[in-house]
Structure 1
Amino acid sequence: KSVGFYRVNYNRNNWNNLIDQLNRNCLKFPAVNRAQLIDDSFNLARAGKLDYNTALTLGSYLVHDTDFIPWKAAITAFDFLDNVLLNSSLRSLFKTYIRGLVNNVYLKIGFEEKECDGHVDKINREQIIKLGCESGHQHCIENAKRYVSSLISGFQPKISVDVYETVMCSAVYYGGNQEWEYVLSLYQSAMPRRKSFYLAILGCSNDPDIIRRYITDFLRTSTAEEWMERFRVFANRKENVNFMLQILYEKYDVIIAKVNTENFVSLLKTMDNFLTTEEQLKKITELESKNINGITDVKLKLQKRLQWLNKNLPQLGAFFNNDRTDQLVFSN
């Protein structure tokens, strides 16, 4: 048992013993120590100090854990992997892995708030429903779409304020034009202080036609500030990275004329954590050749990520392709 601002690595035998104990009875370890094991193993693997097979196998114990603290640590670790696997064929297998782990805690904590819920229950539900819907958990998605469908039909179903944004975002992402138009109507009628909230939900869409209509077609008629705000909400959705980069690449001269070079680079940096491919590197290199100051930093960051992927994709693939993810998937 240890708590501190350092990471602890073990030999292979001790890692295996810890994994075995976590799967037999994870409550033998306090929640903060379970979180520390997750945080240490995934960060050590990210740094190349531990193999990903060990980290992901340890993470598999989460199928037995429903505590807020370990899940918060896991979600941080999973977010990095989800970013780097964004354009990889392994991403769907990674999502399957997450759905298998999150299913039990999702079913226990439930989609709806309970009278007996304490503060920790509420924030745990918030993070679990967000992870569930983003990983493609069917029950979570259907509940989100059903909720927004009821709103569109004029009903006012009860929902916790803690999960409202996630539910609305999921309905827009997995739904269609009807859901997006409904949120657009909420945005248009909202008080000024509430508009940014609904604008962020509009950005959950990954429909190219919607993005083109709302971003590209708006370029010449909006102010610089209005256009940048719209661009950022769509660029913050990682699934939109290729389309948003293409907009910057194709219209860089028009965009720079409107927002200036510094803001252009700032828009590109909005999504630099989601850049993972050689094709994206080619586009950024071409933008760099236009003598746009600040592009080189984005290019170097992507080059380092590509080096990381070349080194780590084989071991990630070895884990996700060996059928153990299938063993974790329960009814959802």
Structure 2
Amino acid sequence: MVYNPEQTGYYRVNYDIENWRRMASYLNSTNYREIHVLNRAQIIDDAFHLMITNQLNSTVFWNIAKYLSQETDYVAWYPMFKALEYLSNIFLFQERIYIKIKVKVLILLYKLLDSLKYNELDSNEHDLTKSLRMEAAKWACNLDGRICIETAQHNLISHLENPEKNTLLPWWKEWTYCQGLKILYYPLSSESMKDSPWWKVYRLGKEKFKTKFLKYLSCPEDSIFIIPYLNLIKNDSAPSIIFLKDFSDKDYIDYFLFTIAKHARNPVVLDFILHNLKNIKPKQISEYATFTVIINHVYSTDQLQKINDFITDKFLNVMQVKLNECKKLSRFVNERNTKVETCFTELAENFTCMQPYTSNIVSKLQMRFFEIKSQQNYFQNFVKYQQ
């Protein structure tokens, strides 16, 4: 029994567990179109809402969602895309339970894209079908689907080799440029880079001087590429002046923070940032602001602990070095000495200045740690998938 046929009323419908199971079974059969598309959308939307409010077992929702592997109507997929937006943060965690959900969603998206294909070949195709393809491709690549990323890379290379013949539709440009540059497994300085898609996008962006093109340049995810790239974009060195000579200080700051936010959760890149921050950050931005962005964009308690240890070690080391200098001076004098007094005064001033700085960062770390644990505890209530 399906209530609220064709969504004649704006309210949610809950069922007894047996009726939910029967609907899931029917939707996963070849007869699923016998249920009107508005009701198919309603069932997905209601089941998700009831799941996140702990009124419906998560297994029921994911069993219903499986039917989307044969669905090609945008109306029915729309509530699932909204559900993915709600769940988007969990896909940044690396625990097995979240990876399992990511794989299940990718399977659904790949089956849809196998049916729709990635390219818009029919000019008479319905706009909703175009939107469905675009959303599916966006989510498949955002969830690190290899087939999706390699398709974007192929489309980007074809476009760059012959832009007039292989034009990009406006709504596919961001997807093609960014996802097409996502997998680069060689360092920025490598000889193989000279004619790579990355340099071609760089030259295109520089020629048109559109900052959105330059943001695409930070889309590669491998640390072997990003680490030398971070060295290149700082604004107080000759290479960077050549690289982005038309950038203002604000452009540098925004671009640096954008890149840091995008890659801070990569453990190799995070290590590099922490130990080289002074050398890679624009001189106009404070360490405190940079650490704030880093902390807000990591999704691992281990990484937060690493940042905490680094800050603590840095603070204590500075104080210890200064204290040792003062002690060394005091050994050579038998009475109060101006140099010794000055040394201890500076030590006290440094401690006074650094204590609020360190305390604020530690507070942000504690807050972020609480946010991550709260999100994980919340999501675990309804992302468990049973075979």
Taking structure 1 as the reference length, what is the TM-score of the superposition?
0.75
Can you list the C-alpha shifts for 1:59-111, whole angstroms capped at 9, x where unaligned? 11111211223323223323454532432234553343223212332133222
Structure 2 distance, partners of 1:89, 1:307, is: 17
CA deviation string 1:260-286 (max 9, x = no partner)? 4774366347x54xx432213324555
2:114 aligns with 107
Structure 1 residue 116: Cα displacement: 0.9
1:89 lines up with 2:96 in the alignment: yes
Deviation of residue 313 (structure 1)? Answer: 4.5
Which runs of 5 or more structure 2 residues have no equivalent in the other structure? Answer: 186-192, 241-247, 313-354
1:267 aligns with 2:293: yes
Contact 1:285 1:299 in 2 (8 A): no
Q: List alignment gaps of at least 5 residues for structure 1.
A: 323-332
CA spacing shift, 1:10–1:238, aligned 2, 3 Å: farther
Q: Of 58, 61, 85, which aligns to 1:55?
A: 61
Within the candidate set 205, 208, 230, 1:190 is matched to 208
- Counterpart of 2:178? 169
Q: Where does residue 18 of structure 1 map in the other structure?
A: 23
Q: How does 1:37-76 map to 2 (within 5 A)?
A: 37-76=43-82
For the pair 1:228 / 2:253, whether they are aligned, the reply is yes
Provide closer, same or farther for how the CA distance between residues 35 and 225 of structure 1 changes in structure 2, counting only shifts above 3 A.
Answer: farther
Q: How far 1:172 sits from its partner (Å)?
A: 0.7
Q: Encode CA deviations 1:292-322: one digit per residue, 9 max, x unaligned.
A: 6477466435424324425754974653xx4
Q: 1:175 to 1:252 in 2, by over 3 A?
A: closer
Q: Distance in 2 between matches of 1:250 and 1:224?
A: 23
Aligned length: 314
One-letter amino acid matched to 2:132: N
Contact 1:184 1:202 (8 Å CA) reproduced: yes
Quote the residue 1:309 is aligned against. 376
Are 1:63 and 1:102, in contact at CA under 8 Å, matched by a contact in 2?
A: yes
What CA distance in whole angstroms lies between the structure 1 residues aligned with 2:214 and 2:9?
Answer: 40
Deviation for aligned residue 1:199: 2.4
Q: Which residue of 1 aligns with 2:138?
A: 130
Q: Highest Rg: 1 or 2?
A: 2
Mean Cα displacement is larger for which, 218-227 or 158-167?
218-227
Aligned residues of 1:31 and 1:70 also touching (Cα < 8 A): yes
Q: What is the rounded CA distance, in whole Å, between the counterparts of 1:72 and 1:248 in structure 2?
A: 39
Q: 2:139 and 2:291 mapped to 1: Cα distance?
A: 30
Question: Which stretches of structure 1, 4 residues or longer, exceed 6 Å deviation after superposition?
Answer: 3-6
Over the aligned positions, Cα root-mean-square deviation in angstroms equals 3.7
By relative contact order (CA 8 Å, sep 6+), the higher-ranking structure is: 1
Per the TM alignment, residue 173 of structure 1 is displaced from its structure 2 partner at its CA by: 0.8
Cα distance in 2 for partners of 1:62, 1:313 equals 23
Sequence identity percentage: 20
Flag the 1:133–1:311 CA change in 2: closer, same or farther, 3 A. closer
CA distance in 2 between counterparts of 1:47 and 1:248 reads: 39
